[in-house]
Amino acid sequence: MSGKLLIIGFGPGSFEHITKRAREAIGESEVIIGYNTYVDLIAGLLTEQQVVRTGMTEEVSRAQEAVRQAKQGKKVAVISSGDAGVYGMAGLVYEVLMEQGWTRENGVQVEVIPGISAVHSAGSLLGAPIMHDSCTISLSDHLTPWELIAKRVEAAGMADFVIALYNPRSGRRTRQIVETQRILLKHRSPSTPVGIVKSAYRDREHVVVTTLADMLNHDIGMLTTIIIGNSATKLYDGLMITPRGYQRKYTLGAETQPLKPHQRLKSEAEPWALEQLDGQDLNESLEEFDEEDELMDAEVIESKEPSQLKSSPNLSPSNSLQLAMEALQLVSKGTEEVSFEFDNKLTATQSIFEFAVSPGIANKKLTAAQLCALGEIVGDRGDIEYSPHHQLIVRVQTNNPNQITSDLSALGLLLSPIGDVAQIKACDFCNLEKGESIPYAEAIHHRIGNLEVPKELKIGFNGCGMACYGAVQQDIGIVYRKEKFDLFLGGKTVGRNAHAAQPVAEGIAPEELVDLVGRIVERYQKEGHPNERFHKFFKRVKEIEGYRHQEMVGFVIENAICGD
């Protein structure tokens, strides 16, 4: 005579969402023990079973009664909504068993039957909010000290988890959700998407999509699960969608263009991966976690069970985005339109395109048409930042960077990548009036402008001996004077110990200039250490193109770090 405990999660509450095994288990039980409401929810599945109904707070007596009856040799079902192992009866039943010295070998049999938990049923009604790392937190402080709950809310908020709040509010417990919102607002934007789902897949189902700032203005009760998005979660057409990876930033230049799906897993595309952080201060790298991507489900499936995918003739996806696209294609019966719409609308597939814009090498004036075009491209969600380098830095979400570059270039704007590239910064040649040397500045730009170098390199170019645009304070300075050029190397452009570049040559013939500067920058590109600024490189190699580095005289002043 061996009894059995069947601990059953019956899902959110609708018949269709009860698993087959859960239904069978209810069918094969002799006794059903559950909270009144839950027994009502599965009433349609009951046949001959003896039913033990209890009030909500009588969980312990429910568990004890179940164990007692199982020990008598009965098959006893203990039912929980959602999953029995998530704030449900499973743990409690095991606790009662443990107390009684139960062992798997000698005690009654126990089977825990999984169910769809509220986080997943609520998630499905909201769109796809749980796509990235997430956690569940119950705000009920009946069994858990509030201090611990608050600590977990704080930690989850800080770590950018998507958060599902269970038991958010009851008639008496009303302050917990207010406090939770306050804590989360310290770490997340007030506009963070929030989903409030009441009675998922039950009669009075109600779904609200709102924001972290506004969430308390909606009905929240015992039957509600709240899902708080992470910093990447988007609102789209009344849905909450969390992109699978963090948004990737990219800028101009072939190497940094958006990655094609098949390139995503190459190690060079994942500079933030743990394996790639060797030699870096891990703490420092963690602070910069703004970009991420990882293995997609479909790839995992593909490697484990190739037959599943091969059975569909038109599906050979290499990742889930591609899989989703193909599925969409199938439902739209191959019409291009839907997949195009999808592509343009779903921000999850968009990356942040970041680049610098200026009116030209010498020209410093922006036209109304150029400003309008920039404004339109940036819209409400992108931004334009005025930089100290005669440039506007533009950041915009897009999946079509080429369109942006061609539109802006057509209006005469000069676009440059951001990052460790060589940039030539010229003066305005007195409103282009003293413009004789402009062609040389442009020729230098064509030769080495936007070249990737160990660290950002600013080449100042001024059209007369006044050098009023500060050419001599740059990494490399070039000043046009009396139809010849003066050259300055190794300015330290930032820091308390900033200094001008050293004058290394006067009267360089115009026909020599472009090649000379080209060779200097190319040598720095080849021989500079990663992140080594040009002035340090000059000091280390001591000589470039025959120009010797000279130690600075004067008293030593310590440099300070950012924020000091």
Binding site for ligand SAH (CB under 6 A): 12-13, 80-83, 86-88, 117-118, 121-122, 166-167, 197, 199-202, 222-225
Amino acid at 57: T
Q: Which is nearer to ligand SAH, 134 or 502 (CB)?
A: 134
Judged by CB, which is closer to ligand SAH: 200, or 377?
200
Structure tokens at 430: 């007195």
- The CB-of-34 to ligand SAH minimum distance in angstroms stands at 12
Partners of 234 in beta bridges: 241
User: Closest CB to ligand SAH among 79 and 394?
Assistant: 79
At closest approach, how far in Å is the CB of 44 from ligand SAH? 17
**By C-beta, is 167 or 247 nearer to ligand SAH?**
167
Minimum gap (Å) between residue 138 Cβ and ligand SAH: 7
- The residue of the chain with the least Cβ separation from ligand SAH equals 82
Quote the least distance from Cβ 74 to ligand SAH, whole Å.
24
Instruction: Give the nearer residue to ligand SAH in terms of CB position, either 117 or 247.
Output: 117
CB of 80 to ligand SAH, least distance (A): 5
Smallest gap, in angstroms, from Cβ of residue 118 to ligand SAH? 3
DSSP codes of every residue in 271-331: TTSGGGGTTS-HHHHHHT--------HHHHHHHH-HHHHHTSTT---SSHHHHHHHHHHHH
* Contacts for 51-54: CB closer than 8 Å, 24+ residues apart: none
* Nearest alpha-carbon partner for 4 in 84, 79, 80, 78: 78
Nearer to ligand SAH, 199 or 391 (CB): 199
Q: Are 257 and 198 in contact (CB under 8 A)?
A: no
The b-or-e profile of 83-117 (16+ CB within 10 A means b, else e) is bbbbbbbbebbbebbeeeebeeeebbebebbbbbb
Number of H helices, E strands in the chain: 17, 25
Q: Is 342 exposed, middle or buried (0-12, 13-18, 19+ CB in 10 A)?
A: middle
Measure the CA–CA gap between 13 and 197, rounded to whole angstroms. Answer: 14
Q: Which is nearer to ligand SAH, 183 or 197 (CB)?
A: 197
- Min. distance of Cβ 83 from ligand SAH in angstroms? 4
Are 81 and 8 contacting, i.e. CB atoms less than 8 angstroms apart? no
